[in-house]
Amino acid sequence: MGWLMAREAMQVKEKLFALGICQDDTCLFCGNASESHKHLFVECLYSRRILMGMAKLCKISLPSGDVLQWVWQHKWSQAKKGVLLYSFMSCYYYIWKQRNRVRCEQVLLHPDVVVKQLQQVVKMRVDAVSNQILGIDRIWLSNTGLCK
């Protein structure tokens, strides 16, 4: 999924509509815009609330643009970048999962519920590698909502 995300190759409604596969290209979350890659993963209020929830857990400020590129280019240690990249890739996966759930089951979870689910998933992953995270990164991690 990361590869598809990086290449903006996810089959969002805008692409499906252009191919004649779906009736309209309206965002399934907000209903206010075309479901383009940028709208779904960056601009949509529903998705932003999930990303902002993760940023709050990570104790960082959310950039206005591409979160993954911003994390990658930031001058953080590899350990911190790894935790942040995993955290936000998980957000994108869950946004896509929720989008498909709305499309197939007409069920939309509140963004806060999604963030709680994400927190548990990320905690399990971070706990598995936390003994390898040392120094200032360990202090940062202990102040986030991403470890036990």
11-42: per-residue pLDDT in tens?
Answer: 999 999 999 999 999 999 999 999 999 999 99
pLDDT tens digits, one per residue of 105-124: 999 999 999 999 999 999 99
Give the rounded percent of residues in the chain with a pLDDT score beyond 70: 100
Please tell me whether the overall predicted TM-score, pTM, comes out greater than 0.85 for this model: yes
pLDDT of residue 6: 79
pLDDT at 64: 82
CA–CA separation, 82 vs 80, rounded Å?
5
Q: How many residues in total does the chain contain?
A: 148
pLDDT tens digit sequence for 43-97: 999 999 999 999 999 999 998 888 988 998 999 999 999 999 999 999 999 999 9
In this predicted structure, what is the pLDDT of residue 135? 92
**Can you read off the two tokens belonging to residue 44?**
């949509």
What pLDDT, on the 0 to 100 scale, is given for residue 39? 95
Distance CA 45, CA 53 (A): 12
CA distances from 147 to 72, 110, 129, 141, 143 (A): 22, 23, 10, 7, 9
The 10 Å CB-count burial string (b at 16+, else e) for 17-33 is: beeeebeebbbbbeeeb
Number of helices and strands in the chain (H, E): 8, 0
pLDDT of amino acid 65: 80
Tokens of 108: 């939309």
Domain boundaries, the chain: 2-142
The chain-wide mean pLDDT, for the chain, equals: 93
